[in-house]
Structure 1
Amino acid sequence: NHNTIIHPATIWRCLKQHGAITPQPQKRPRSSYIRFEASLPNETWQSDFTHFRLATGADTEIITWLDDHSRLALHVSAHHRITAKIVLHTFQETTAKYGQPASTLTDNGMVFTTKLAAGRKGFNSRNALEAHLAKHGIKQKNSTPGHPTTCGKVERFQQTMKNWLRHQKAPTTIEDLQLRINQFVKEYNNDRPHRSLGRHTPAQKYEALGKDKPNPNTLNNESRVRYDKVDSTGVVTFRFAGKMHHIGIGRPHKNTKVIMLIDGLEIRVVDQKTGELIRELTLDPARDYQRQE
C-alpha cells in the first residue's frame, strides 16, 4: 500500500545478485567475435553503400571501396541511386588507380551479387561486377546473411563519415556532397591516426607493405549451371557482364527444357530430358544475338 513502483530492471538485478536467475544475454558479447584483418594491402577490398539526405530532402546513396588491411578509403562517391553498373564503374576506377585486389568482400545486395536471387536462374546468373571479377581472377567473397559484422570495417567507416557530414553545412546538391566527401576522405586517409593501426594513418599503413594481386590460377575458370526453357521462337536468354544476350537454339527445340553448362565464355546447351547436346558456342560479348551457325 505504499504506491511504490519498482522498475523491472531493478528487480532483475536484485534477483541476479542473489543467484535466483541465470542471465541469458540476447546478444553475443563483443569478446566472442573473431577479429579478421587482411595481411597485405589489396588482399581484400570491402564495399558497401549507405544513404544520405541532402538539405533539400532528396535522398542520395554513397558507395565506398575500402582496403581491409589498411582501412584506406580507396573510393567514395555519391550518386542518386546505386546500380550494378555504377558498382562496376567505381570498381574499375579504383583498380585503375590502386591496381587490382586479390579479392572483394561485400554483402549480398543485388548490385554486388545475384547468388541469392530467387530461383535457379538467379542463383546461376552473374551481374556486371561478378562477371568482371571472374574474368580477372579476383575472388569474390560475400557475407553470410544475418552476419553484418563480416563487413564491419566499411560499415564503421560509413558511420564515421556520416557523423562528420552531419556536423558540416548541409549540402544542397549531390555535387556539394561530393566535395565534402572528398575533404573527409583526404583527412581520414592522411591526417587521422587509427587506433587499430598502431596510431598510423591508413595511407601510411597502405604504403608500408607490398600489394597483393589476383591469383592467376582462378582466371576465367569459374563454371556455372543454368536451367532454362527455349522460348517459342527457338531462343534462350543469358546475362553476361550485366548485358542480356539471346542464343539461337532453333524452332524445332521450342519449349524444350534445357541445361546450360557455362565455363567463362564457353557455353553448352543440353536437353534436360534426353541429355542431347543441342548447341555448343563461344559467347561473343559484343553481340546481342548469338546466331545458330
Structure 2
Amino acid sequence: MADGDKNRVIVLAIVEGSLSVAKAARRFGVTRQWIHRLLTRYRAGGLEALEPRSHAAHAPAGRIPDDMRARVVALRDQLVSGGLDAGAESIRDRLTRADITPPATSTIYRILRAADRVTPEPHKRPRSSWQRFQAAAPNACWQSDMTHWQLGDGTKVEIISWLDDHSQFLLHITVHRTVTVRTVTDTFLSAGRNHGLPASTLTDNGRIYTTRLAGHHGGQGHFEHLIDSLGIEQRNGRPGHPQTQGKIERFHQTLKRWLTARTDATTLDALQALLRAFQHVYNHERPHRANDRRTPAETYEAVPKNAPRVGLLGKFWRVRHDTVDTVGVITLRRRAR
C-alpha cells in the first residue's frame, strides 16, 4: 500500500470507523504520535493533506540570496582592508550586530571560499587541541609587553601595552622613543588609576620588568619594588617560552596588522592618535572568540574585578626619624643597603 493510501486508511478508520488512536496504531504498525500528526494535517487540509511530504530542505543548503552573498564578500574585503579579523565567525558577528540574520558560519566560509577569499589550511592544528589559560576575573592578572614599530620616516619607536588576561581588555597603550623601567611603572600606575590595580602581573623577563635573571644585582627593579609594596603578585614566563604570554603576543599581531592597513604616522603624537583609535576598536567593536564572541569591554564589565591582596599581618611597621644635615643631605637605608 502506498504511503498516501495508508495515511488515508488510518485517518478514515478513526474518523468514520470510530477506531481509537491506540488500536489504530497497533493495527497499522505506526506510533500514536504519527497518527496525531496525520489527524492534524487532515483537519487543516482534508485528505489531500495526507499525501507524503518531501524531505528536501525548504531552503536547500547553498541557496543563499545573491544580495547576502555579496554582503558577506564585501564585508570580508572591508575587514581585511581595515586590518581587522575577517574570518567567518567575525563576519557573522558583524552581521548580527547590524541586526541582520546571518547564514551559518560554515555557510559564510563556503561563500568566501567560492569567491576565492580564503585558502583552505587542512594541516592547521585543531583548536580543540589547545590548552588555554584564562584568569578567573577581570584584574586578576594583567599581561604586559613592549613591541617595536617605526614612524613614516623610518624612526624606530617602542609601544607598551597592558592587557587584562581575563577579558582581553586593552587597559593601556602608548608609544615612546624607548620603553624604560620608569615607563613601565608610569604606564602601570596610569592603567591602575583608570581601571583599579590587578591582583597579579604576567610579563617576560626583560630588565624593564624584572632583575631576577640578572641575579638581583642592585636589589629589586623599580617595577618589582612598586608592585611588591602594593601587595601585587609578580609572575614571569619561562625563558625561551613566549607562549606563556601568548595573549599579549597575539595582541601585538592584531595591533600591527591594523596599523599596517593605515597611512604611516610621521610623529609620536600622530601614532599615539592611531593607537587611541585602535584601543576603541579593539575594546568596543571587535568581538573576541575567547569571550564567547563578546567584545573585551563587555567581558571586562560583566563580573566584579579582583584587587591586590595587601597583607599587613606578619609585617613589622615602625616610624623612623632621620635628620637632614646642614647641606640638605639625608641617607636612607633599605634592606641593609
Amino acid at match of 1:190: H
Residue 289 of structure 2 is aligned to residue 195 of structure 1: yes
AA paired with 1:78? V
Tell me, in whole angstroms, the C-alpha distance in 2 between the residues paired with 1:288 and 1:158: 45
Query: Once the 2 structures are TM-superposed, how far is the Cα of residue 52 of structure 1 from its aligned partner?
Result: 0.3
Q: Is the 8 A contact 1:134 1:219 kept in 2?
A: no
> Is there any run of 5+ residues in structure 2 with no aligned partner, and where?
1-124, 324-328
Deviations 1:180-208 (A, max 9, x none): 01101101100111111101000000000
**What one-letter code is carried by the residue in structure 1 that aligns with 2:195?**
Y
1:110 alignment partner, one of 197, 203, 207: 207
1:151 equivalenced with 2:193 (yes/no): no
Matching residue of 2:332:
290
Structure 1 residue 34: Cα displacement: 2.5
1:28-47 to structure 2, matched below 5 A, reads 34-47=131-144
Q: Does 2:164 align with 1:67? A: yes
The correspondence of residues 177-192 of structure 1 with structure 2, limited to 5 A, is: 177-192=271-286
Structural mapping, 1:44-59, within 5 Å: 44-59=141-156
Task: Compute the displacement of 1:282 (Å).
Answer: 9.4
User: How many angstroms does 1:217 deviate by?
Assistant: 2.6
Matched residue, 2:174: 77
SS of structure 2 residue aligned to 1:187: helix
1:290 deviation in Å?
Answer: 3.3
Question: CA separation of 1:36/1:144 partners in 2, compared to 1, >3 Å: closer, same or farther?
Answer: same
Partners of 1:219 and 1:157 in 2: CA distance: 39
Give the secondary-structure state (helix, strand or coil) at the position aligned to 2:173: strand
Matched letter for residue 66 of structure 1: L
Q: 1:289 to 1:150 in 2, by over 3 A?
A: same
Residue 216 of structure 1 and its aligned partner are, at CA, apart by: 2.2
Say whether the 8 Å CA contact 2:322–2:330 is kept in structure 1: no
Supply the distance in 1 between the matched residues of 2:322 and 2:129 (Cα, whole angstroms).
Answer: 48
Answer yes or no: is the 8 Å Cα contact 1:137–1:219 preserved in 2: no
Deviations along 1:146-199, one digit per CA (max 9) or x if unpaired, are 110000101111110111101100000111100001101101100111111101
Task: Report the TM-score, using the length of structure 2 for normalisation.
Answer: 0.56
The match for 2:184 is: 87
Tell me the matched-pair count: 205
Name the residue aligned to 2:266.
Answer: 172
- Aligned-partner SS, 2:143: strand
Which structure's residues are more often helix, by fraction? 2
Distance in 1 (CA, whole Å) between partners of 2:234 and 2:199 is 9
1:219 CA displacement:
8.5
User: Which of structures 1 and 2 has the bigger CA Rg?
Assistant: 2
Query: How far off its partner does 1:288 sit?
Result: 6.0
Give me the whole-angstrom Cα distance separating, in 2, the residues matched to 1:265 and 1:186.
Answer: 46
Q: Which moved more, 1:74-83 or 1:152-161?
A: 152-161
Structure showing the higher strand proportion among its residues: 1
Deviation, structure 1 residue 127:
1.2
Aligned to 1:256: none
| Shift in alpha-carbon separation, 1:121–1:181, aligned structure 2, 3 A | closer
> Which ranges in structure 1 are unaligned for 5 or more consecutive residues?
1-27, 222-262, 267-280
Q: What is the letter of the counterpart of residue 158 of structure 2?
A: E
Q: What code does the residue aligned with 1:184 have?
A: F
1:226 maps to none
Aligned position for 1:98: 195
Specify the SS of the correspondent of 1:52: strand
Letter in 1 for 2:169: L
Amino acid at match of 1:40: A
The separation in 2 between residues aligned to 1:141 and 1:217, in whole angstroms, is 18
Does the CA contact (< 8 Å) of 1:265 and 1:282 recur in 2?
A: no
Q: Percent identity?
A: 44
Whether the 8 Å contact between 1:53 and 1:60 is mirrored in structure 2 is: yes
Q: What is the CA–CA distance in structure 2 between the aligned matches of 1:109 and 1:283, rounded to whole Å?
A: 36
Distance 2:224 2:282 in 1: 29
> SS state of the match for residue 290, structure 1?
coil
Q: Return the alpha-carbon distance in structure 2 between the equivalents of residues 63 and 30 of structure 1.
A: 29
One-letter amino acid of the counterpart of residue 200, structure 1: R
RMSD: 3.0
Distance verdict in 2 for CA 1:80–1:282, change over 3 Å: farther
